[in-house]
Amino acid sequence: MVELATLQAVSYIMGSLGVFVAAVYYVMTLRTTQRNLKANLETRQFQLLMQIAQAPTSIEGQRRFIEWISMDWDDYDDFEKKYGSDVNPENYALRASTSNWFNTMGLLVENGMIDTELLYDFTGINVIWGWNKFKDVYVKQRELYDNPEGWKQWEYLYDEMKRIHERRGHSAESSRLPTRYSPEAKEKSVSSEPNA
């Protein structure tokens, strides 16, 4: 006949084994849930990127970008004479639309809503080109219009894209898009690359 002590020992062992199996099951379920959450996050980020990409990657978006990046001025006064909102409202709309798009991307990055590496691969060089081109104008406008927060998210995005760009072996300061294509600029750009 089985003794009471043996039955109690078996009961304790079975209880402990049950707790152990439940803990293993919980850990496995938790890991599966984490993998699913990560996959969902990646999917949502790509969906967000696709939504973000609709306007600038369209034919009209590309035309607008070329017009925007091809703007040319000598100094801030020249910029205002050519592109100021009071003399050229059509260009102001183009400039504000494009700049707001970059500002919004910066807001998404700053709040952790989209991965910086993903955004860099999509439009990092455009962020760098644009900020390098318009920085002096927007810094001056912050001062003139007493708006120290103006375009801050775009500047934040620029800093993030610049960090990635430089980590990948490129100079953000020399990454200036020529207003017009020229073979000389291409040759100079190629000869100044670190691996050239």
pLDDT digits (tens, 9 = 90+) for 118-176: 999 999 999 999 999 999 999 999 999 999 999 999 999 999 999 999 999 988 776 55
- The pLDDT of residue 1: 62
Rounded Cα gap, residues 8 and 63, in angstroms: 81
- Answer left, alpha or beta for residue 182, where phi above 0 means left and psi between -120 and 50 means alpha: beta
**110 and 153 Cβ atoms separated by less than 8 Å:** yes
**91 and 83 Cβ atoms separated by less than 8 Å:** yes
Give tens-digit pLDDT for 3-57. Answer: 878 878 888 888 888 888 888 888 888 888 888 888 787 778 778 878 887 878 8
Q: Any idea what DSSP says for residue 180? A: S
In 58-151, which residue ranges form alpha helices assigned H by DSSP?
Answer: 59-69, 76-83, 89-110, 116-144
| C-alpha distances out from residue 66 to 15, 21, 30, 54, 128, Å | 71, 62, 49, 16, 15
Question: pTM, whole model, 2 decimals?
Answer: 0.71
